[in-house]
Amino acid sequence: MSSRRWMKAMLALAAAAALAAITGEARGQASAQSQAQPRLQDKLSLLPGLDTRLIDTSADPCVDFAQYACGNFNKLYPIPADRSGYGTGAIVFDYTQQVLHDLLDRVAAPTAQHTANEQKIGDYYATCLDESAIDAQGLKPIQPELDRIAALTDKKQLTGLLAHFQMINVGAFLNYYEQQDFKDAQKQIAAVDQGGLGLPERDYYFRTGEAAEKTRAEYVAHAANMLKLMGEPADQAGAGAAKIMTLETALAKVSMDVTAQRDPNNVYHPMTVEKLAELTPEIDWPQFFTLTGVAQIDSLNVANPDFFKGLQAVFDSTDLETIKTYLRWQLINATPGWALPKAEDDEDFDFYQHKLRGQPEQQARWKRCVDATDSALGEALGQVYVASQFPASSKTFTLQMVHDIEDAMGKEIDAQTWMSEETKEKAKAKLHLVADKIGYPDHWRDYTALTVVRGDAVGNAWRATEFENKRELAKIGKPVDRGEWVMSPSTVNAYYSPPMNDINFPAAILQAPLYDPQATDAENYAHIGSIVGHELTHGFDDQGSQFDGNGNLADWWTADDRKQFDSMTDCEVKEYGNFTAVDDVKVNGKLTLGENTADNGGLRLAYVAFMEDAKRKSLDMNATQDGFTPMQQFFVAYGQNWCGSIRPQQVRLQVQTDPHAPREFRVNGVVQNMPEFGQAFHCKTGQPMMPANACHVW
């Protein structure tokens, strides 16, 4: 993982996956059109704000609204073989991916005249596409790194190797990055954190039961297969993989789980470099920092001190040959599969996508290369994308929508009977300081220092990663750039950042059905309005509420108000914790609390804003269109944000690692907490979607 680790770790769990279900449970979820239409790959089209084809009229909206709003979706759009899940928003993603594909094909042509950035993204993309050339090179591109590992003769030599590995995102043993200081958001500081695991999360090493044991066995077999592909004899590879598992299990024992990491207080432990050296003396920390281009670090955030104390114990108890085997595994595992020969790429897919996620087939090469180029040169590609795809009218509309939702949040704060006037004033002060970022950054990133060589796949991947890490680490000790974006403009997603106190809506999310100029106001407020409300509510959920308006980790609540807030969020913990996701696995109400609060608050804010908009426009709330009143349109459109299905393996992975509840609970779990929904569909108190006691935070 790269810099701004805590924020980006949370974004990876929350924002980077903030619309995971919308875009099909994983990046690159392509769609398949109904039998009445060509497949999306053949004829790209976006869904309307409310699609009546998706509605299951045999279902009772008061009993199972997700089934009512989306019941026909899976019949029309089954999960493609190269996907672990599939949903309505996948169409938005696929549409964008096809646009990027066309743009990249144009700039990849070697004879055309291109700008410097166009040349870079074109060469990067073309190199990724040349699978035969990558396969012909074999493992020669990574051989110098393998030789460097083989040359180790003493554990004291690990410092230089680990520093180098951090720069190319090989997270062996630990993670190192730059972050905003939680207690002084104007400062950018160095930080180190736990790392070094090959399974998705620390509890994968300890869960009991047949499914967990099977996953661990498959992981060891996968590591052994990769070691064999790197030239090790079968018996040696098998023994090495078992030792890797033992080493990683030791690291997992001193790691925090994903739920604990959500609390910023758990991952904020400023200390001197000298104190860090006492925890893990095996690493020469001053040398480590210098080798990454950052000299004279006196203090830093050690996110998990217990981990670094335990890391030293792992160094002490593990022989050098085992460490070298582990380092080879970490290197090959961190190298992008698309840059490796086909055998290694296929083996990587088989475990991480097929076995862990249930995805039957690998994605088409061009789709993977579009994603790889966007990941490496996001703002260079984004600049080209925005120029051709993002009209000024979309930015104007979204900004007005954001202001409407922010006004609604102000009203909600005022309406809270449980909150004291003192806390209300501080909450509104934070609200007024939220920065709204729409479409794309004001200043584009400069990629002049990044070298892209046509034909050098591994080199391009590593140089792009090192370029980004150097750019991030260079911020240490400098003022925070509050205009910076974490996502590229062509990303179909959105996020809120607590340390920056900003909400961000990349250009690509502002497309139908999420935003459609042809849709009704009810539909647009339900779609993009609920997403805006979702991100804004993150500033006031269990995590974001710990940061003040300036982005500092500070307790701005009265003790009684915080107690009342915790009591109300506990209602959501219990509500979602009772939902069964797959087999006997229930939703983790604590892990998903922030997202559930944001889902519930987001739709309520969208509702309040829509009602104000309806008053301004004198909208007839009793009129019907396609058989729906405006309020019914609003709720059906919201429900259709989450249409789709997920393979059982992916559901299990999601519930154990992802702070988002599975898609059906993002519908039913929200509407059952809104009496306005029950009124719109004439539900009776006591029906599943209109319980007598509902949860309500914001």
Q: What is the pLDDT of residues 152-205, one digit of tens each?
A: 999 999 999 999 999 999 999 999 999 999 999 999 999 999 999 999 999 999
What topology is assigned to 143-339 in CATH? Answer: Neutral endopeptidase; domain 2 (1.10.1380)
Residue 451 has pLDDT above 70, yes or no: yes
- DSSP symbols for 519-532: S-HHHHIIIIIHHH
CA-to-CA distance for 69 and 50, rounded, in angstroms?
10
Are 490 and 538 contacting, i.e. CB atoms less than 8 angstroms apart?
Answer: no
CA-to-CA distance for 452 and 128, rounded, in angstroms?
12
Identify the pLDDT of residue 686.
96
CA-to-CA distance for 289 and 493, rounded, in angstroms?
34
Q: Which strands form 174-181's sheet, in the order they lie side by side?
A: 174-181, 184-194, 299-302, 270-272
Average pLDDT on 437-461 reads: 97
Which tens digit of pLDDT belongs to each residue from 563-596?
A: 999 999 999 999 999 999 988 899 999 999 999 9
* 24 closest CA partner among 98, 83, 68, 101: 83
Residue 672's pLDDT band (boundaries 50, 70, 90)?
A: very high
Residue 113 has pLDDT above 90, yes or no: no
Average pLDDT on 669-698 reads: 96
Identify the pLDDT of residue 43.
54
Residue 18 has pLDDT above 90, yes or no: no
Residue 135 has pLDDT above 90, yes or no: yes
Average pLDDT on 220-235 reads: 98
Are 195 and 303 contacting, i.e. CB atoms less than 8 angstroms apart?
Answer: no
Helix axes 116-129 and 365-376, enclosed angle (nearest 10): 140
Residue 213 has pLDDT above 70, yes or no: yes
Are 494 and 535 contacting, i.e. CB atoms less than 8 angstroms apart?
Answer: yes
DSSP code, position 190: E
State whether residue 665 is helix, strand or coil. Answer: helix
Residue 25's pLDDT band (boundaries 50, 70, 90)?
A: very low
What topology is assigned to 5-99+390-446+482-680 in CATH? Answer: Collagenase (Catalytic Domain) (3.40.390)
Identify the pLDDT of residue 44.
65
Domain chopping of the chain, boundaries:
5-99+390-446+482-680, 143-339
* 123 closest CA partner among 457, 383, 454, 371: 454
- Buried (b) or exposed (e) across 72-85, using 16+ Cβ within 10 A? bbeebbebbebbbb
- Beta strands 502-506 and 495-497 are antiparallel
- For 586, phi and psi rounded to 5 degrees? -95, 160
State whether residue 253 is helix, strand or coil. Answer: helix
CA-to-CA distance for 368 and 380, rounded, in angstroms?
18
Task: State the number of CA atoms in the 13 A half-sphere of 481 facing the CB.
Answer: 16
State whether residue 553 is helix, strand or coil. Answer: strand
Average pLDDT on 474-480 reads: 95
Identify the pLDDT of residue 58.
98
Average pLDDT on 19-30 reads: 40
Identify the pLDDT of residue 12.
41
Are 175 and 292 contacting, i.e. CB atoms less than 8 angstroms apart?
Answer: no
Residue 249 has pLDDT above 50, yes or no: yes
Burial class of residue 112, CB neighbours in 10 A (0-12, 13-18, 19+): exposed
Which tens digit of pLDDT belongs to each residue from 65-94?
A: 999 999 999 999 999 999 999 998 888 999
- Beta strands 174-181 and 85-87 are unpaired
> Whole-number mean pLDDT of the chain?
93
Handedness of CA 394, 395, 396, 401 (dihedral sign): positive
Compute CA distances 247 → 155, 253, 331, whole Å: 15, 10, 16
Residue 416 has pLDDT above 60, yes or no: yes
Q: For residue 518, what are its two tokens?
A: 């042809």
Identify the pLDDT of residue 294.
95
Identify the pLDDT of residue 450.
98
* 30 closest CA partner among 313, 294, 368: 368
Which tens digit of pLDDT belongs to each residue from 623-632?
A: 999 999 999 9
DSSP code, position 14: I
Q: For residue 676, what are its two tokens?
A: 């306005």
Identify the pLDDT of residue 41.
38
Q: For residue 594, what are its two tokens?
A: 């922030």
Residue 234 has pLDDT above 50, yes or no: yes
Report the phi/psi class of residue 35: left, alpha or beta, with left for phi > 0 and alpha for psi in -120 to 50: alpha
Compute CA distances 281 → 159, 194, 257, 267, 410, whole Å: 10, 16, 25, 21, 51
Average pLDDT on 548-573 reads: 96
Residue 296 has pLDDT above 90, yes or no: no
